[in-house]
Amino acid sequence: MTSHREISNRGIGYGRGPGGGHRQHYRKPSLCRKMSDGTGFTAGCVSVTPTGRGALLYEQRETLYGDAPIMVGLEHQTAFDMVEGSGDLADELVAFTGLDAADLNNYYLVANYIACLEKFGVF
């Protein structure tokens, strides 16, 4: 099931939480710089089902997530993504999507990207 909603141009973001691989929300003004003036965010969110291909994600994820669902969010214009419920899926998305020119100026994003590539044997 997918739901879409408009998000204001204030900016949202993600980061590594203190407990390991989960992500936490915080304001990310750099996303606003990637948007045209007056353009709002258009986001979507999906829940990964624990059956079929999604079953493996639920079986292999960190125990700290308990029975929480795996949720994936995507902002369509900036290509911002976020994952709740699976650190491995979040890391895989980082390795797969890469960085844009603006992200290369952020030491944390570059270090995280390299760590994700190493995790999956790409780097």
Which sequence spans correspond to the domains of the chain? 2-86
Stretch (H or E) spanning 62: none
Neighbours of 91 (CB within 10 A): 19
Structure confidence by residue, pLDDT tens digits, 78-112: 778 899 999 999 999 999 999 988 889 999 999 99
β-strands 13-16, 2-7: how paired? unpaired
Measured distance CA(43)–CA(120) in Å, rounded: 28
Structure confidence by residue, pLDDT tens digits, 18-73: 333 444 333 455 666 666 666 677 889 999 999 999 999 999 999 999 999 999 99
Neighbours of 88 (CB within 10 A): 17
Supply the pTM of this predicted model: 0.69
